[in-house]
Amino acid sequence: MKIVVLAGPGEVNKRSEMLSLKQKFQSDAIYSFDLSSGNLKDIEQCLTSQSLFNNLEKLLIVENTPDDLDLKKLVKKDNTATMLFLASNPKAVSKLLTSAKEINAKIMNFEAEKEISAFSYLDALIEGRQEAFEEMQKLLNIYGGMYVLAMIYYLLRRNMLPMPASTFMQKKIKAQKQKLTKIDFENLYQMIIKTDFSIKSGNLPENIAIVTLTQKFVNYLR
């Protein structure tokens, strides 16, 4: 079993690393969990269950990993799965990081200094502002379309999950959510899913698909 921990305040680069790892696995073998709204039993059940595609190695992605999680409890010696844990900013002495070191997990820490442009795009997008197009182009030039798509997925999750600890982020998310209903979020998710399919099926080039998706968001939210 391979365990990877992505930690630190750098959400943009963490998700870029996550996307890079996901591309190494078949979509049928990727499972996502969120420990802010789920529990470890779901993860344990996934680890022990047999897939319809027994020859495919599983990738389990765990979001909002708490600092007090003991990774030793999840290690299965005979399991070939890869587990990817995304954590906010745990201290070096936290149970999460100390247990990760004990089992020789790969730990990657991401800082946030160079991530302003990505969040400028996400904020403009969810608020339906035209500035989203300028910020989008910067990201496309540096990272490419699939990276931007992964960040848009993150944007909707950020606004639907329990509030983060940061007071600043709480105020921002509350302001952004005031104009949106559950139906709005469902419609926006459908736009992303269709864009994702268009890219992966080869119907649209990445950059054109992201420009089209951005236009749909802005038209819908303005």
Structure tokens given for 186: 């469902």
Confidence of residue 215 (pLDDT cuts 50, 70, 90): very high
Annotated domain spans of the chain: 2-109, 116-221
> What does the pLDDT read at residue 185?
93
Count of beta carbons in the 10 Å neighbourhood of residue 58: 21
Assigned fold of 2-109: Rossmann fold (3.40.50)
Lowest mean pLDDT among 29-33, 86-90, 109-113: 109-113
Mean pLDDT, residues 102-119 taken together: 79
The C-alpha torsion from 151 through 155 and 158 to 160, rounded to 10°, is -130
CA distance 141 to 162: 32
Report phi then psi at 2, rounded to 5.
-110, 130
> What does the pLDDT read at residue 189?
94
Confidence of residue 53 (pLDDT cuts 50, 70, 90): low
CA distance 162 to 218: 25
Mean pLDDT score across all residues of the chain: 87
CA distance 153 to 157: 6
Task: Judge whether residue 152 has pLDDT over 90.
Answer: yes
